[in-house]
Amino acid sequence: MFKQLFGLAAILVSFCASAGAEERSAFGFEFTSIDGKPLPLKQFEGRVLLVVNTASFCGYTPQYQGLEELYSRYQTQGLTVIGVPANDFGQQEPKKEAEIKKFCQGAFGVTFPLTSKQVVVGDGAHPFYRWAATTLGKENVPAWNFHKYLVARGGHLIGSFRSEVTPDSTELRGAIERALSDKMTAAK
């Protein structure tokens, strides 16, 4: 009996350790793409991620254009922008996924990956957003649409940028360029 309990305890410790390790990296999380397919962040391992909660009917919606410009400019250097449509603020993303995709591609030429609609704040938030809130603190939780999280090539969070920080701001571009210049965990 003691051996069985000891064995079970060892399995649980091992499981918890691996789960905890995975959650310390953004690459341990998975979204669903806007097309309904799995979108594991692990596929972007070694890249810099800019994860942005988005909405179609927001005063910040024109930032889609700037996000696409960032993606186009820095994609070959290792940046991936990920748009996460959310209806959490002012009900400004009431559309269904197909409509969101059509709008983003048509109005702003978006080619970067989009996820399905997600909750980004509160107890029901997607696990990535709960992890980001725990990791960076309550002051870095999205307060509105187009909040940006910057993830280093190694998977750790290195920045949080409020909605009013535009994609073309020197603050955000500088942080992205610094992250891209860190080749320590680049392509394996």
Using DSSP bridges, classify how beta strands 79-85 and 30-32 pair: parallel, antiparallel or unpaired: unpaired
- Token digits of residue 63: 């930032």
Of the candidates 55, 80, 59, the residue with the CA atom closest to the CA atom of residue 68: 80
State whether residue 3 is helix, strand or coil: helix
State whether residue 85 is helix, strand or coil: strand
Q: State yes or no: is 58 an active-site residue.
A: yes
CB neighbours (10 Å) of residue 28? Answer: 20
Q: Name the catalytic one among 41, 52, 58, 70.
A: 58
Angle between helices 97-108 and 63-74 (to 10 degrees): 70
Phi then psi for 81, rounded to 5 degrees?
A: -95, 135
Active site residues: 58
